């Protein structure tokens, strides 16, 4: 795969009104997304990382048409999804989302077999007579026995429920799936199984995946590209090596330093990011990260750095990026090429 962009976001912004309603005073404005430009190549896996509240879920919801952007365009296979009736259009075009909480995504009073039949019939994916067979096939694809079809969601484990949600997403034959922390609420051992299922499905079905996660090890393992967000902006985008030694943005470098190391007792030399996350309703002027940045200069308060190309396949939004030695970058890129799918 890998034949041009399947998804392209240009200048996507979204604000929410928050706080109490007071007469004579407008409610505070929270800029959840600020001019997001992003391209996703067909058949590739993009990871989206960043601290809680940086806008990852808002971005995910806009991509699948659940939230409407205030500005900008979302082009999916040439169709503009930023307009009216985006959600039915997105589903019809094969865009699906898998959420963090597998239980709340399912109707507790509907047998799981019916939960999978429903989208098959609504979207007329197969003739009605063939739907039960297709339901059983989908259960099998996600590693569940078709004999579970008559169970209710509460009779399944968390991992099994998430497999049902994935089967539902797959039922409409999607080309792109957005998984928003889809394994985060599960036990660690089950998380690995669900992540492996995603990577197998990607390889077998040629799916494009957008993988939202706060777990940098997972993203490093699973993704071809990584976008790092901070307070509503993408501040760096590149290969997964930016989560190791290849970071050019000081924030990415701080995140990467905080990744728990698989070898006990071994720590990275650099400290993690210091200071508090600023209030999203009142972010710092210029570069939002400057209040926590070890390399800040007066310019950083005056001008917001654009997300500019720093190297082929690597964009960074920083006036004074880190200097990454060519040797370190070369080493990481070689390692990226070896990282095809998770081994755990």
Interface ranges with Mg ion (CB under 5 A)? 56-57
**Closer to Mg ion by Cβ: residue 56 or 244:** 56
SS3 101: coil
What is the nearest approach in angstroms of ligand ADP to the Cβ of residue 49?
9
171: three-class secondary structure by DSSP? helix
320 binds, among Mg ion, ligand ADP, none (CB under 5 to 8 A by kind): none
Interacting partner of 55 out of Mg ion, ligand ADP, none (Cβ under 5 to 8 A depending on kind): ligand ADP
Instruction: Using the minimum distance from each CB to Mg ion, give the nearer residue, 40 or 212.
Output: 212
287 contact choice in ligand ADP, Mg ion, none (CB below 5 to 8 Å, kind-dependent): none
Burial of 246 by CB count in 10 Å (0-12 exposed, 13-18 middle, 19+ buried)?
buried
Shortest reach from residue 30's CB to ligand ADP, in Å:
5
- Residue 208 interacts, among Mg ion, ligand ADP, none and using kind-specific CB cut-offs from 5 to 8 Å, with none
Q: How many secondary structure helices (H) and strands (E) does the chain include?
A: 10, 12
Q: In angstroms, what is the minimal distance from the CB of 33 to Mg ion?
A: 12
Contact 237, 223 (CB under 8 A): no
Whichever of 169 and 179 has its CB closer to Mg ion, that residue is: 179
* Residue 9: partners with Cβ closer than 8 Å, 6 or more residues away: 36, 37, 38, 39, 62, 63, 72, 73, 74, 75
Q: Binds 32, which of ligand ADP, Mg ion, none (CB < 5 to 8 A, cut-off by type)?
A: ligand ADP
Q: How far is the CB of 251 from Mg ion (least distance, A)?
A: 18
**Closer CB to Mg ion, 141 or 186, in the complex:** 186
Q: Whole-angstrom Cα distance, residue 69 to residue 83? A: 9
Residue 26 CB contacts under 8 Å (≥ 6 apart), including other chains:
none
Judged by beta carbon, residue 58 or residue 160, the one nearer ligand ADP is 58
Q: Which CB atom, from 54 or from 144, has the smaller least distance to ligand ADP?
A: 54
Judged by the rule CB under 6 A, the positions of this chain that interact with ligand ADP are: 16, 18, 30, 32, 50, 52-58, 280
CA dist 182 and 34 (Å) reads 25
For 2, what's the count of Cα atoms within 13 Å in the CB-facing half-sphere? 6
User: 3-state DSSP call for residue 127?
Assistant: coil
Q: What is the CA radius of gyration of the chain?
A: 21
Least distance from ligand ADP to the Cβ atom of residue 281, Å: 8
Is residue 156 within 8 Å of 142, Cβ to Cβ?
Answer: no
Cβ nearer to ligand ADP, comparing 16 with 103: 16
Minimum CB distance to ligand ADP, residue 267 (Å): 26
When CB distances are held under 5 to 8 angstroms depending on the partner's kind, the choice from Mg ion, ligand ADP, none that residue 54 binds is: ligand ADP
Count Cβ neighbours within 10 Å for each residue of 294-319 and write b for 16 or more, e otherwise: eebeeebeeebbebeebeeebbbbbb
Q: How far is the CB of 286 from ligand ADP (least distance, A)?
A: 20
């Amino acid at each position: 795969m890998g034949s041009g962009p399947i998804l392209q976001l240009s200048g996507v912004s979204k604000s929410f009104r928050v706080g109490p309603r007071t007469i004579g005073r407008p409610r505070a404005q929270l800029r959840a997304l600020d001019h997001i430009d992003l391209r996703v190549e067909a058949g590739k896996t993009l990871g989206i990382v960043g601290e809680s509240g940086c806008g990852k879920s808002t971005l995910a919801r806009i991509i699948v048409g659940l939230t409407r952007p205030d500005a900008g365009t979302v082009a999916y296979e040439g169709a503009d999804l930023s307009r009216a009736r985006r959600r039915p259009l997105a589903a019809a075009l094969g865009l699906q989302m898998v959420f963090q909480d597998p239980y709340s995504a399912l109707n507790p009073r509907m047998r799981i077999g019916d939960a999978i039949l429903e989208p098959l019939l609504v979207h007329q994916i197969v003739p009605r007579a063939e739907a039960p067979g297709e339901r059983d096939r989908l259960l099998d694809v996600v590693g569940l026995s078709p004999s579970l079809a008559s169970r209710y969601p509460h009779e399944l484990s968390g991992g099994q429920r998430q497999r049902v949600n994935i089967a539902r997403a797959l039922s409409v034959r999607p080309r792109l799936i957005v998984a928003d922390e889809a394994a985060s609420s599960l036990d660690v051992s089950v998380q690995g199984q669900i992540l492996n299922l995603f990577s197998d499905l990607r390889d077998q079905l040629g799916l494009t995946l957008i993988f939202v996660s706060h777990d940098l090890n997972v993203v490093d393992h699973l993704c071809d590209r990584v976008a790092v967000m901070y307070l509503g902006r993408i501040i760096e985008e590149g290969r997964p090596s930016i989560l190791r030694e290849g970071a050019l943005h000081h924030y990415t470098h701080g995140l990467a330093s905080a990744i728990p190391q698989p070898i006990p007792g071994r720590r990275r030399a650099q400290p993690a990011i210091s200071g508090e996350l600023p209030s999203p309703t009142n972010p710092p002027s210029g570069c939002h990260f400057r209040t926590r940045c070890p390399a800040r200069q007066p310019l950083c308060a005056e001008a917001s750095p654009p997300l500019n190309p720093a190297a082929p396949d690597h964009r960074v939004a920083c006036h004074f990026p880190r200097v990454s030695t060519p040797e370190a970058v070369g080493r990481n890129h070689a390692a990226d090429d070896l990282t095809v799918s998770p081994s755990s």
